[in-house]
Amino acid sequence: MDGTIRTNISLGLHVAIILKKDQKTGKLTRGIVQRILTNSRTHPHGIKVRLESGEIGRVKEILD
């Protein structure tokens, strides 16, 4: 599924995000969505979410 479309992402979903500090390296961080932060229906770089670990980033892969 596409991480740039908000309706594809739901709370509790296992995703891989890219943190702001890792944008240059492309390192992904895995976790479970606690909150969806992007209000618009789509975003070209990925929907911004907060993971249960507290980390915030844009969804690059949906793992579930």
> pLDDT for 9-34, tens place per residue?
999 999 999 999 999 999 999 999 99
Q: Residue 42 CA to chain centroid, in angstroms?
A: 12
In terms of pTM, does the model score above 0.85? yes
- For the beta carbon of residue 40, count every other beta carbon within 10 angstroms: 7
| Residues 63, 26, 5, 40, Cα dihedral to 10° | 130
Sorted by where each starts, the structural domains of the chain and their CATH numbers stand as 6-62 (2.30.30)
- For the beta carbon of residue 8, count every other beta carbon within 10 angstroms: 15
C-alpha span between 55 and 32 (Å, rounded): 10
In a 10 Å sphere around its CB, with 0-12 CB exposed, 13-18 middle and 19+ buried, how is residue 17 labelled? buried
